[in-house]
Amino acid sequence: MLAVVPSPASRRAALALAATLAGPATWVVRAAWGLPTALGASRRQVRPYAAGSPQFSEGRFHNRLATPALPSASAQRGLLRQMHEERHSGRPASPVPLARPELSAQAGELAVTWFGHSSALIEVDGRRVLVDPVWGERVSPSPLIGPTRLHPVPLPLDQLPPVDAVLVSHDHYDHLDLPTVRGLVRTQTAQFVVPLGLGAHLRGWGVPDERIVELDWDGATSVAGLTITCTEARHFSGRFLTRDTTLWASWVVAGPQHRVFFGGDTGYTPAFAGIGALLGPFDLTLLPIGAYNPAWAHIHMDPEEAVRAHGDLGGGLLVPVHWATFNLAFHRWAEPVLRLCAAAQRSDVRVAVPRPGERVDVLAPPPLTDWWTAVGSLADVPGEQDDAGVNSSVVARAASWLTARRQDD
């Protein structure tokens, strides 16, 4: 049998086809790189640490207050419309101004440095507590797909001063970041204090067991003279399609003289009043104000609800978190803080709104200065288009949320 020798034209066509197919294949490989590790521990690995909790039944954690898993049909239709028409609204129109953090060797009496989104360094009675630290460029298990930063990190992770504890509210990527955890293992000696089940993620990422403290709601631990209490939140957890295998929480940090409440990520709940009565009042509250939408109204507070929660908690100074850094909803970039300031004025609530990286002395807070209006929203700039494609954070978040909720239903 004679061998068929392809012509030069056929060889060129084959090479062109291979090159065409190699591009998408390479992109897929890069997008999936490190995916299993970033997803965290499996349900089987988490379950031994979760099974004894009153919040855990039928293989998952539950909110104490009934929290619908799916929005109404009208809200779902609105969400699909927004995915198509308003996915770029949450992007700033101009660069977000940063402040160079001013952190002394010795922690102050009561202060907070906000690094963006929910990441902050709290100083309480001479101790430092780092909350929801996320230094990664993208809050996603993939290096190519998912929400990217809207502003740079104000300070490299290795330039943080020594901290006494690291608190994490729950395991969503914008609150629990694998690269940041690994960086903190290298650069810090602090304990990680986390809700039940999150320790399984941390152990798989190289955090020594002796540096992990897992708590259920109402549980407490003592770190460097501070009492850290795990308190109720109204939210959910999950790092892919599996939901609610780990607990979500808010936190109370109490020193000999001062008390701080960190909300993490939560919908409004009457439990705040109970927390305030039992563990408050609080000199400082850090409460989420962004990424709200009718489709997830039960699990994300809007700015007016944050002001209400601050009052329930008996708060002194309110510093907003969970806004400005990632495009996670459909409201305009500056809308959360505009609504917050209006609601705070109506309720006579003291508010400080630092720039990312700015340190606020809670005992002598600066006057409220509007730096956000000048930044604006990309949606307000005529003709601006976002060509993020598959990197569009809102589309990825909303589609994943709808898919996962339908699977859980």
- What is the C-alpha separation between 295 and 324, in angstroms, rounded? 20
Supply the pLDDT for residue 4.
Answer: 47
Q: State yes or no: pLDDT of 141 exceeds 50.
A: yes
Q: How big is the chain, counted in residues?
A: 409
- Within-domain flag for 39: no
- Within-domain flag for 207: yes
The two structure tokens encoding residue 233: 């939140």
Number of domains in the chain: 1
- What is the C-alpha separation between 236 and 68, in angstroms, rounded? 11
Note the pTM of the prediction, 2 decimals. Answer: 0.86
Q: Residue 205 half-sphere exposure, CB side, CA atoms within 13 Å?
A: 28
User: How far is residue 170 from each of residues 21, 143, 199, 253, 301, measured CA to CA in Å?
Assistant: 39, 21, 11, 17, 16
- What is the C-alpha separation between 94 and 374, in angstroms, rounded? 8
Selection from 27-36, 50-59, 77-86 with the highest mean pLDDT: 50-59
- What is the C-alpha separation between 204 and 190, in angstroms, rounded? 18
Mean of pLDDT values over 376-399: 56
Long-range pairs for 305-308: beta carbons < 8 A, 24 or more residues apart: 305/267, 305/268, 306/263, 306/340, 306/343, 307/340, 307/343, 307/344, 307/347, 307/349, 308/268
Supply the pLDDT for residue 71.
Answer: 59
- Within-domain flag for 149: yes
Task: Single out the residue of 317, 302, 169 nearest to residue 232, CA to CA.
Answer: 169
Supply the pLDDT for residue 70.
Answer: 59
Share of the chain above pLDDT 90, in %: 69
Mean of pLDDT values over 306-328: 97
Structural domain boundaries, residue 124: 110-391
Q: Give the model confidence (pLDDT) of 243-274 as tens digits.
A: 999 999 999 999 999 999 999 999 999 999 99
- Within-domain flag for 402: no
The two structure tokens encoding residue 184: 């903190």
* Averaged confidence pLDDT in the chain: 86
- Residue 373: CATH number of its domain: 3.60.15.10
DSSP summary character for residue 142: S
Give the pLDDT band (50/70/90) at residue 331.
Answer: very high
- Within-domain flag for 2: no
Q: Give the model confidence (pLDDT) of 150-209 as tens digits.
A: 999 999 999 999 999 999 999 999 999 999 999 999 999 999 999 999 999 999 999 999
Asked if residue 254 lies in contact with residue 222, where contact means CB atoms within 8 angstroms, the answer is no
- Within-domain flag for 302: yes
- Within-domain flag for 399: no
Give, in degrees to the nearest 5, the angle at Cα 266 between 281 and 108. Answer: 45
Residue with tokens 């460029």: 137
- Within-domain flag for 40: no
Give the number of other CB atoms < 10 A from CB of residue 265: 28
Q: Is 394 exposed, middle or buried (CB count within 10 Å of its CB: 0-12, 13-18, 19+)? A: buried
Give the number of other CB atoms < 10 A from CB of residue 319: 24
Helix axes 303-313, 271-279, angle to 10 degrees: 30
Give the number of other CB atoms < 10 A from CB of residue 301: 28
Which DSSP string do the residues of 167-234 spell out, in sequence order?
A: E----STTTS-HHHHHHHHHH--PEEEEETTHHHHHHHTT--GGGEEEE-TT-EEEETTEEEEEE---
- What is the C-alpha separation between 43 and 41, in angstroms, rounded? 7
